[in-house]
């Protein structure tokens, strides 16, 4: 449920009644309507960008397979070569940089990826992925890669556009702002729609603004749960709210565990073990390390991270983000090939699992193509709701301009026993979700200021929209 719903006769606030009487809901509904309207108007442009880029990102998984088919797939051979030979072929073709990770071919017709860090001309936060035929050791190409899902240039560009508009850390505020408000707009719209009289919810046989409202509200009600989910999961790795969530998980002992990369060490808390080991071969070598991981039931897909230095171990971890999740990891001593630490997905804390599932569902990897199609439908629905919201605002006008905004003063009619707890909840939410709390506080301050100016000029309006001639209504 989103942007800019406007009022019909039944949903407009009642005639002015500054005296705080009546039920809590009767006085609270105009306040929710005003918040839904203004939040929609202000946040809609950010949501529109997020929805459009999110739609592109959900589609990019399948497009990536087509665009980079030569690098990603090979004819199936009789026998795969040892992983050490495949890495040696990659290093011969690309001696620059250092081997940061290796992903053996996860399927019979897939290539092996050898990731190189510190390569000149490659973003320091990215790696150069060298694609090797596991049957012939032919190097089939090299592409810049980003993230744990192995995004290649096309998907990386769309991902960064969706996340920060290619503006870096400052740009991430746009997506956090949109995610912070999406659930508020969706929940508010849901409440407003189901509080409408049933006879006024129908779409069939209606026209004009009422039909637009019916489409906006009816379809938004069906999609609201999806929007709230996208908002909540998107915030888990945002700049400010994400950091707060991480701190909360740490305080509850719900961090994502990781194996210790120190040779012989116990597994650690939040974070992923890794390193930059120059060439990948250390001690017993890659083949024995991979065999040790297989003995611990780490089947494909896996990633091998070489030791960072002489005091570190190899880390082999499963990287399957589709259902069922495979996130087991082991550390392997380079000198002996012995497994020194093990972390199992089954042993993850509850919040760590929920966070992993939520992020993977949000990004479209958990259930593969069906997940991606659902995300595209949600994104397209959000775009339509925004356009319908603005159309309703236009239809409230006189055919050539946007209509009136929702009148101010609704909060004055809310009884204290409702208003005080509501303000307390808003204050707590604003603390934990600052890009919700700060803009909301700014909006309230501006609204109160404009209301006071209007009062001094004798044009004060209340929740019902009627003007007072000279002074406040008692």
Q: Please give the full DSSP string across 428-446, using - where no structure is assigned.
A: HHHHHSHHHHHHHHHHHHH
* Domains in the chain, CATH or no CATH each: 1-68+158-255+359-474 (no CATH), 77-151 (3.10.450.40), 257-348 (no CATH)
230 phi, psi to nearest 5 deg: -60, -40
Using CA atoms, how far residue 10 sits from 20, 396, 464, in Å, is 20, 14, 12
| DSSP one-letter code for 318 | E
The residue length of the chain stands at 474
Per-residue pLDDT of the chain (474 residues), as tens digits, is 444 444 443 444 444 444 444 455 677 788 888 888 888 888 999 999 999 999 999 999 999 999 999 999 999 999 999 999 999 999 999 999 999 999 999 999 999 999 999 999 999 999 999 999 999 999 999 999 999 999 999 999 999 999 999 999 999 999 999 999 999 999 999 999 988 776 667 777 777 888 999 999 999 999 999 999 999 999 998 999 999 999 999 999 999 999 998 865 555 444 444 444 457 778 899 999 999 999 999 999 999 999 988 899 999 999 999 999 999 999 999 999 999 999 999 999 999 999 999 999 999 999 999 999 999 999 999 999 999 999 988 887 765 566 666 666 667 777 888 778 888 988 898 889 999 999 988 887 887 787 778 778 775 554 444 444 443 333
Residue-wise burial string across 384-412, b where 16 or more C-beta atoms lie within 10 A, e elsewhere: bbbbbbbbbbbbbeeeeebbeebbbbbbb
Cα separation of 214 and 233, whole Å? Answer: 29
Give which of 272, 279, 274, 273 is closest to 116, Cα–Cα: 279
Exposed, middle or buried, 379 (CB in 10 Å: 0-12/13-18/19+)? buried
């Amino acid at each position: 449920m989103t942007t800019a719903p406007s009022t019909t006769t039944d949903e407009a606030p009642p005639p002015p009644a500054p005296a705080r009487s009546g039920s809590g809901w009767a006085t609270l509904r105009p306040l929710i309507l005003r918040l839904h309207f203004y939040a929609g108007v202000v946040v809609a442009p950010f949501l529109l960008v997020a929805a459009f880029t999110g739609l592109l990102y959900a589609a990019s998984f399948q497009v990536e397979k087509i665009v980079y088919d030569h690098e990603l797939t090979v004819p199936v051979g009789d026998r795969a070569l040892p992983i050490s030979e495949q890495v040696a072929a990659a290093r011969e073709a690309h001696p620059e940089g250092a081997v940061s990770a290796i992903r053996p071919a996860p399927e019979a017709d897939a290539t092996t990826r050898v990731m190189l860090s510190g390569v000149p001309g490659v973003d320091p936060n990215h790696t150069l992925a060298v694609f090797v035929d596991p049957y012939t050791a032919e190097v089939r190409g090299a592409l810049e890669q980003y993230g744990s899902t192995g995004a290649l240039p096309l998907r990386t560009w769309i991902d960064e556009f969706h996340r920060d508009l290619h503006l870096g850390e400052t740009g991430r505020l746009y997506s956090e702002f949109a995610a912070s408000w999406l659930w508020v707009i969706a929940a508010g719209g849901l409440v407003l729609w189901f509080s409408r009289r049933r006879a006024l919810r129908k779409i069939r046989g209606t026209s004009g603004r009422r039909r637009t409202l019916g489409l906006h509200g009816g379809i938004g009600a069906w999609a609201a749960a999806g929007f709230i989910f996208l908002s909540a999961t998107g915030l888990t790795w945002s700049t400010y709210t994400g950091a707060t969530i991480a701190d909360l998980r740490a305080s509850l002992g719900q961090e994502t565990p990781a194996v210790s990369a120190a040779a012989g060490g116990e597994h650690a808390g939040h974070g992923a073990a890794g390193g930059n080991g120059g060439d990948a071969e250390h001690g017993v070598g890659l083949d024995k390390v991979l065999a040790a991981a297989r003995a611990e039931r780490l089947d494909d897909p896996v990633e091998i991270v070489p030791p960072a230095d002489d005091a570190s171990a190899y880390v082999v971890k499963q990287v399957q983000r589709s259902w069922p999740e495979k996130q087991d990891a082991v550390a392997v001593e380079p000198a002996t090939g012995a497994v020194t630490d093990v972390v199992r997905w089954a042993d993850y804390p509850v919040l760590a699992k929920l966070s992993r599932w939520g992020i993977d569902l949000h990004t479209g990897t958990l259930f593969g193509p069906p997940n991606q199609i659902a995300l595209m439908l949600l994104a397209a629905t959000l775009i339509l709701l925004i356009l319908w919201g603005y159309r309703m605002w236009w239809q409230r006008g006189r055919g050539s301009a946007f209509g009136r905004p929702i009148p101010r003063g609704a909060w004055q009619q809310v009884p204290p026993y409702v208003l005080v707890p509501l303000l307390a909840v808003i204050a707590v939410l604003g603390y934990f979700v600052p890009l919700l709390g700060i803009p909301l506080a700014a909006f309230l301050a501006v609204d109160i200021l404009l209301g006071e100016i209007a009062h001094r000029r004798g044009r004060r309006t209340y929740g019902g929209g009627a003007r007072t001639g000279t002074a406040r209504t008692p």
